[in-house]
C-alpha cells in the first residue's frame, strides 16, 4: 500500500471525487491560484478549471451560505474554510441553515455539503487562530462531524463525506498535514459514525480523535515497553458518536482516559465521560479522567502555549495516576500485560 501524507490523502480524495462526479465543486479562499493556504488543493485548479475550483473573496458567511444554496439544487460543494477559526463568521449559515433545511422543511431538500477546515494549536498562532471548536459543531443535530487522525481515514472519510447527503463538517488539524501513513489506492469509503480501535489493549482505554489519537498511539507504544497494555479508541466521528465501541472497550479494560485538544469544560471528554457513566459504570475501576487544554485564550509565547496544550507527558502522567489509584501492577517489564 502506498505511504502518503495526510495532505496528499485529502488531495487524492478531492481529485477522485471531482473526476467521478460532475456535481462536485470546490469553493474557498485561496484554494485555486494560491493552491490553498495549506496546499490541500494544489494542482486542482489547473486540472479542473475555474468552474469546478472557485476562489472566493474573504466572505465566509457568504460563500458557505452560497454552497448551501448550490447543494439544495443538487450540486455537491466542498468548501474549504482556511482555518476553523474563521468558520465562526459562517456559524449562522452552518447552524441555522445547513443543519436545519432538510428537517425543518419536512425532508424535501437534502443539503449535501462538506465543509473542510483545519483546527489546532501549537503553532504559535495565538488565541484567535489556534482553536479546537469541534464541540460547537458536534452539539448540533443535523450536522455530521468527522475528525480523522490518519491519512487513510482522511481519504476514506472525505470520500464518504462528499457522497453523504447531509452537511458534513470535516475537521482537519494543522499538525497532521505532514504525517504519513498507508493509504489504499482505490475507492475505500468509510462509514460515518464508526469509531476504530486503533490499537488493542487490556489495561486501560484512551479515547481520542484527530491529532490526539496520534499522541495516544505514541504513548501506548511507549508504555507497552513497561508492560502496560493500552487500548486506543479513535472516535473518527464526533456526530454521530459511536458510543457502543467506546463502552465496549472500557467494559473490557475498566479504566478510561480521554485525550482531547479542546478545552476541558463541556468538551468531548465530558460527553464521553457521561456515555461511560451510562454504558460502563459497573465496569469502571475508577472515575474517567480527562486530559484537555487549559481554559485560557491560547497565548502566543511558546512556554505558555506549551503549558496550555495537552501533550504525551500529560497523558502519561494521568495514565500512571489512574493505574496507581487502581493498584495496577504490570507483569514482567517488556511484555504486554493482561488486565486486573
Partner 1 sequence: MAERRKSAAARGKEPAAPAKTGDSGHFPADEPPERLLGYYADMVLIRKFELSADQMYKRAKIGGYCHLNLGEEATVVGLMDALQPSDYLFTNYRDHGYALMRGMTPGAVMAELFGKSTGVSKGRGGSMHMFDTATRMMGGYGIVGGQLPPATGAALALTYRSRPGPDAEVVMCQMGDGTTNIGAFHESLNLAAVWNLPIVYVIVNNRLGMGTTVEAAAGEPELYKRGCSYRIPGERVDGTDVVAVREGAGRALDRARLERKPALLEVMSYRLRGHSVVDPARYRSAADVETAQAADPLPLLRRRLLAAGLMDEARAQDIESEADKKVAAAVAFADSSPDPTPDQLFDYAYASPVANAAHALPGDPAVVIP
Ligand X SMILES: Cc1ncc(C[n+]2csc(CCOP(=O)(O)OP(=O)(O)O)c2C)c(N)n1
C-alpha cell of residue 219: 504513548
Q: Is 60 known to be catalytic?
A: yes
Nearest to 163 by CA among 180, 187, 198, 184: 187
Partner touching 315 among ligand X, partner 1, none, CB below 5 to 8 Å by kind: partner 1
Q: Is 139 known to be catalytic?
A: no
Region label for 28, one of left (φ > 0), alpha (ψ between -120 and 50) or beta (otherwise): left
Partner touching 164 among partner 1, ligand X, none, CB below 5 to 8 Å by kind: none
Give the whole-angstrom CA distance, residue 12 versus residue 6. Answer: 10
Among 12, 17, 29, 261, binds ligand X (CB under 6 A): 29
Among 195, 318, 323, 336, binds partner 1 (CB under 8 A): 318
Please list every residue from 28 through 47 that binds partner 1, using CB under 8 A: 29-30, 33-34, 37
> Residue 29 Cβ, how far from ligand X at the closest point, in Å?
5
CA dihedral 208, 87, 5, 26 (to 10 degrees): 140
**E strands in 98-225:** 114-119, 144-146, 168-173, 180-182, 196-199, 204-208
Does position 80 bind ligand X by CB under 6 A? Answer: no
Of 29, 35, 129, 231, the catalytic one is: 129
Of 60, 80, 231, 260, the catalytic one is: 60
Q: Which stretch binds ligand X (CB under 6 A): 81-89, 91-99, 160-168, 169-177?
A: 81-89
Give the whole-angstrom CA distance, residue 74 versus residue 272. Answer: 36
Give the whole-angstrom CA distance, residue 208 versus residue 148. Answer: 11
Among 52, 86, 125, 127, binds ligand X (CB under 6 A): 86
Among 235, 241, 308, 323, binds partner 1 (CB under 8 A): 308
Measured from the Cβ of residue 1, the count of other Cβ atoms closer than 10 Å reads: 9
Closer to ligand X at the Cβ: 60 or 305? 60
Closer to ligand X at the Cβ: 17 or 29? 29
Catalytic residues: 60, 129
Amino acid at each position: 500500500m502506498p505511504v502518503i501524507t495526510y495532505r496528499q490523502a485529502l488531495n487524492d480524495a478531492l481529485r477522485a471525487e471531482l473526476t467521478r462526479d460532475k456535481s462536485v465543486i470546490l469553493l474557498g479562499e485561496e484554494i485555486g491560484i494560491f493552491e490553498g493556504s495549506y496546499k490541500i488543493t494544489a494542482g486542482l485548479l489547473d486540472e479542473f478549471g475555474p468552474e469546478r475550483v472557485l476562489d472566493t473573496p474573504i466572505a465566509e458567511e457568504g460563500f458557505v451560505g452560497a454552497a448551501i444554496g448550490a447543494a439544495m439544487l443538487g450540486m455537491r460543494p466542498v468548501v474549504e474554510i482556511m482555518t476553523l477559526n474563521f468558520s465562526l463568521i459562517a456559524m449562522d449559515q452552518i447552524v441555522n441553515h445547513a443543519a436545519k433545511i432538510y428537517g425543518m422543511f419536512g425532508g424535501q431538500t437534502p443539503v449535501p455539503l462538506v465543509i473542510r477546515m483545519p483546527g489546532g494549536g501549537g503553532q504559535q498562532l495565538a488565541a484567535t487562530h489556534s482553536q479546537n471548536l469541534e464541540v460547537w459543531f458536534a452539539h448540533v443535530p443535523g450536522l455530521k462531524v468527522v475528525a480523522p487522525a490518519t491519512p487513510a481515514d482522511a481519504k476514506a472519510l472525505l470520500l464518504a463525506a462528499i457522497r453523504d447527503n447531509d452537511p458534513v463538517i470535516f475537521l482537519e488539524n494543522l499538525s497532521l498535514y505532514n504525517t504519513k501513513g498507508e493509504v489504499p489506492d482505490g475507492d475505500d469509503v468509510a462509514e460515518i459514525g464508526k469509531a476504530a480501535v486503533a490499537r488493542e489493549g487490556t489495561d486501560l482505554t484512551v479515547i481520542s480523535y484527530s491529532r490526539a489519537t496520534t499522541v495516544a498511539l505514541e504513548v501506548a507504544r511507549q508504555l507497552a515497553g513497561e508492560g502496560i497494555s493500552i487500548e486506543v479508541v479513535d472516535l473518527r466521528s464526533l456526530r454521530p458518536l459511536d458510543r457502543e465501541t467506546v463502552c465496549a472497550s472500557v467494559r473490557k479494560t475498566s479504566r478510561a482516559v480521554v485525550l482531547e485538544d479542546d478545552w476541558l469544560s463541556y468538551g468531548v471528554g465530558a460527553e464521553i465521560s457521561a456515555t461511560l457513566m451510562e454504558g460502563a459504570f459497573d465496569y469502571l475501576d475508577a472515575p474517567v479522567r480527562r486530559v484537555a487544554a487549559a481554559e485560557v485564550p491560547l497565548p502566543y509565547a511558546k512556554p505558555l502555549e506549551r503549558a496550555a496544550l495537552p501533550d504525551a507527558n500529560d497523558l502519561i502522567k494521568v495514565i500512571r495516576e489512574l493505574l496507581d489509584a487502581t493498584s495496577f501492577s504490570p507483569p514482567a517489564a517488556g511484555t504486554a500485560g493482561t488486565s486486573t
